[in-house]
């Protein structure tokens, strides 16, 4: 349901992708505030601002300022959450920082004039293929649970299917002129990161005793439930690119 507009905005890039990221960041920030016991008042608004405003600054090309802003606002979010009875300030602040930084990572990778568009499309395709592969393999083969204390429904067969799905995207792109030796391992790494991101959110939900982060997507939970893996994969993609260990574009146009 969300894939077609996301792909369209990613293809258009620039301000269109920035708007998509900011909307997602705001929604995830709001859900995180409620998940961590901050309610739906001013503190929740502050956390949503903390996840969204850095992306708005990054959209102007001011990534250094955006990083500083993300850190400052995350600290402010944690401090504000400490004043809410029953809230978890540390979780609130760290989660706001994580969402903001992962969104910045996506925009930073996309900012490259030559490779940004394809890098983001590759990120989306890899994470979606990992999710689909995990679902199909898990349903088809079942078997031992991957992390029963965190997510009883996830299996080792599903995890393997997710890796295969992510690797397949790299292999398909390699057919277009890229290096399979680079694309496939990097795709696998992004797929594993996506699954770890999913498990990380499951840990948070288990800690706070909730099933879903929200209900904005009927039958599928909240935005965080759908984008937890994307956040982790985007962060890894940016780190690999920054380290020079993997180009965001490993195939020819």
- The pLDDT tens digits for 136-185 are 998 888 888 888 887 878 889 999 999 999 999 888 877 776 667 778 88
pLDDT, tens digit (0-9, with 9 covering 90-100), for 106-117: 999 999 877 888
Across the chain, which distance is largest between two alpha carbons, in Å? 57
pLDDT, tens digit (0-9, with 9 covering 90-100), for 102-145: 999 999 999 987 788 888 988 999 999 999 999 999 888 888 88
Dihedrals phi, psi of 224, to nearest 5 degrees: -60, -35
Alpha-carbon gap, residue 224 to 228, rounded angstroms: 5
User: Is 128 found in the same domain as 107?
Assistant: no
Q: Does 253 score more than 50 pLDDT?
A: no
* Residue 72: how many other CB atoms lie within 10 Å: 12
Task: Of 231, 250, 235, 242, give the one whose Cα is nearest residue 186.
Answer: 250
| Residue in this structure with the two tokens 């499309």, named with its chain if needed | 121
pLDDT, tens digit (0-9, with 9 covering 90-100), for 8-56: 888 888 899 999 999 999 999 999 999 999 988 999 999 999 999 999 9
What pLDDT sits at residue 8?
86
User: Is 92 found in the same domain as 127?
Assistant: no
What pLDDT sits at residue 251?
47
Q: Residue 245 gets which letter from DSSP?
A: S
Task: Of 9, 100, 3, give the one whose Cα is nearest residue 47.
Answer: 100
- Please list, in sequence order, all residues whose beta carbon lies within 8 angstroms of the beta carbon of residue 116, skipping any fewer than 6 positions away: 13, 109, 110, 248
Range of the domain at 14: 1-111
Domain count, the chain: 2
Task: Of 123, 121, 36, 52, give the one whose Cα is nearest residue 87.
Answer: 36
- Please list, in sequence order, all residues whose beta carbon lies within 8 angstroms of the beta carbon of residue 80, skipping any fewer than 6 positions away: 38, 42, 43, 46, 47
Q: Does 220 score more than 80 pLDDT?
A: no
Burial class (CB in 10 A: 0-12, 13-18, 19+), 209: exposed
User: Is 10 found in the same domain as 129?
Assistant: no
Q: Which of 77, 111, 145 is the last residue of a domain?
A: 111
pLDDT, tens digit (0-9, with 9 covering 90-100), for 193-216: 999 999 999 899 999 988 878 777
User: Is 41 found in the same domain as 67?
Assistant: yes
Q: Does 247 score more than 60 pLDDT?
A: no
User: Is 137 found in the same domain as 22?
Assistant: no
User: Is 169 found in the same domain as 72?
Assistant: no
What pLDDT sits at residue 38?
92
């Amino acid at each position: 349901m969300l894939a077609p507009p996301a792909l369209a905005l990613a293809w258009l890039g620039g301000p269109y992708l920035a708007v998509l990221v900011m909307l997602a960041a705001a929604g995830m920030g709001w859900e995180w505030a409620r998940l961590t016991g901050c309610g739906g008042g001013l503190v929740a608004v502050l956390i949503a601002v903390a996840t969204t405003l850095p992306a708005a600054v990054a959209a102007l090309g001011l990534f250094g300022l955006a990083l500083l802003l993300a850190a400052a606002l995350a600290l402010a979010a944690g401090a504000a959450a400490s004043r809410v009875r029953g809230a978890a300030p540390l979780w609130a602040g760290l989660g706001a920082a994580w969402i903001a930084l992962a969104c910045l990572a996506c925009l930073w990778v996309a900012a490259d004039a030559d490779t940004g568009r394809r890098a983001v499309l590759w990120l989306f395709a890899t994470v979606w293929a990992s999710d689909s592969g995990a679902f199909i393999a898990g349903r088809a083969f079942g078997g031992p649970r991957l992390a029963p204390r965190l997510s009883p429904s996830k299996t080792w067969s599903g995890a393997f299917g997710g890796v295969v799905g992510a690797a397949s995207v790299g292999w398909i792109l390699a057919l277009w002129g890229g290096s399979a030796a680079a694309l496939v391992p990097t795709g696998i790494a992004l797929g594993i990161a996506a699954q770890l991101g999913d498990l990380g959110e499951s840990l948070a939900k288990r800690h706070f005793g909730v099933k879903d982060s929200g209900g904005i997507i009927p039958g599928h939970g909240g935005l965080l439930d759908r984008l937890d893996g994307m956040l982790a994969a985007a962060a890894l993609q940016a780190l690999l690119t920054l380290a020079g260990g993997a180009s965001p574009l490993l195939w020819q146009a």
